[in-house]
Amino acid sequence: MKIPKLANRYAKALLELAHERNAVEQVKDDMKFLLDTISNSPELQIVLKSPVIKSDQKKKVMGEIGKHLHEVTASFIRLLIHHRRENSIHDIAYEFLQQYRAFKGIHLVQVITARPLSAALRDNLVKKLKSYIGGTIELEETVSPDLIGGLIIRINDKEYNASVKHQLNEFKKSFTTNLYKPSF
């Protein structure tokens, strides 16, 4: 996901402000909440991106969403709306979480499996990943039955695909390549 410089700068400023006010964890929770809320609500995305809807109405909507947000986060959202940057809230929240993880030494690892992982397998996977990349591991699990079996692991910009679906596709690809070369 390509994040604009604007989101990077605002996220950095928010992280610094939260650190000054000893509210990093609360602001992180708020940013995660906002990211999830905006991602799962197409109507809210339209409201935030629409130039037709007035800032006052956007403040009301975000005020309703943010009733339970920490004061640092609520003030920050009001500031964004005041400066007409409400269409960047999603990107800023995403970038804030990235910077928070870097600040805390946390690695986000996405694991996609055909079935939910058992607790023992999850613990074993986290232990192996810790020995491989070090630091703290934040596991984000997704179940995708179309993988048939196996798993896909995404760490930052790297993907390790050990799914049955991928192996079958590679096998199919090897059949489509004609290795026969006539000798005449």
Summarised one tens digit per residue, pLDDT across range 58-96 is 889 988 888 889 999 999 999 998 998 999 999 999 999
How confident is the model at residue 134, as a pLDDT? 87
Using the predicted structure, report yes or no on whether residue 183 has a pLDDT greater than 80.
no
Contact in structure between 70 and 27 (CB atoms under 8 Å)? yes
The residues near 153 (Cβ < 8 Å, ≥ 6 apart) are 109, 110, 111, 112, 129, 159, 160, 162
Using the predicted structure, report yes or no on whether residue 158 has a pLDDT greater than 60.
yes
| Residue 72 backbone dihedrals phi, psi, to 5 degrees | -60, -45
Residue 3 banded pLDDT, cuts 50, 70, 90: low
Instruction: List 113's β-bridge partners, or say none.
Output: 143, 151
Residue 56 banded pLDDT, cuts 50, 70, 90: confident
> 50-56: long-range contacts (C-beta < 8 A, 24 or more apart)?
55/81, 55/82, 55/84, 55/86
How confident is the model at residue 161, as a pLDDT? 94
Q: Which helix (H) or strand (E) holds 159?
A: strand 158-163
How confident is the model at residue 36, as a pLDDT? 96
pTM value > 0.85? no
Residue 2 banded pLDDT, cuts 50, 70, 90: low
The residues near 96 (Cβ < 8 Å, ≥ 6 apart) are 11, 14, 15, 27, 28, 31
Looking at residues 28-42, what average pLDDT do you find? 96
Structure tokens at 71: 């004061």
